[in-house]
Amino acid sequence: MATTTYLSNPTLTVNSVDLQDQCRSATLTVKYDALESTAFGSTSRVFTAGLGDHELTVTLLMSYAATETYATLATLVGTATTVTMKPTSAATGATNPTFTLTGTFLEALPVIDAAYGELSEIDITFKGGVYTVAVV
């Protein structure tokens, strides 16, 4: 069977704003608290899912131009919003699902992250929110 790979080129929207052309890396992690339900009679530890604790971390090229990175994020810090990601810009489908975090919280925004002679990049993290996957 042939190896299947995927060349990273995902789409990203933050509060409905398309930031794909500013994004250099992104990791959306779906995670649940592991609640131990081991009891008498168990021979191994067993766990059950608790609360979801999802997280999206992205690295963005910083820009202060109109409707760019700063304009998108400036009033979102300290609030909850919706973010979406897709593996590619193709239509949503079973092989290109849209992952959404609704009501995810932007805790911090580095308004300046500068180094001499380098393009400015910022790392931000969206915490929590309701995770859904759409395939249509």
Partner 1 sequence: MKYTIISERIGTVGEEFVPGLGTNVEALLKHGFIESDEPANDSPALKSAKTKAPAKKD
Which residues make up the interface to partner 1 (CB under 8 A)?
A: 15-19, 66-67, 71-72, 74-76, 79-82, 102-103, 129
Length of the chain: 136
Comparing CB distances to partner 1, the nearer of 46 and 133 is: 133
Given the complex with partner 1, which of 71 and 111 has the nearer CB atom?
71
- Judged by beta carbon, residue 38 or residue 79, the one nearer partner 1 is 79
Torsion of the alpha carbons at 57, 104, 52 and 4, rounded to the nearest 10 = -40
* H-run or E-run covering 105: strand 98-106
CB of 40 to partner 1, least distance (A): 44
> Residue 97 gets which letter from DSSP?
P
- Please say which residue, 66 or 94, places its beta carbon nearer to partner 1: 66
Residues of 36-72 as b/e, b for ≥16 C-beta within 10 angstroms? eeeeeeeeeeeeeeeeeebbbebebebbeeeebbbeb
* Residue 78, phi-psi category: left (phi > 0), alpha (psi -120 to 50), beta (remainder): left
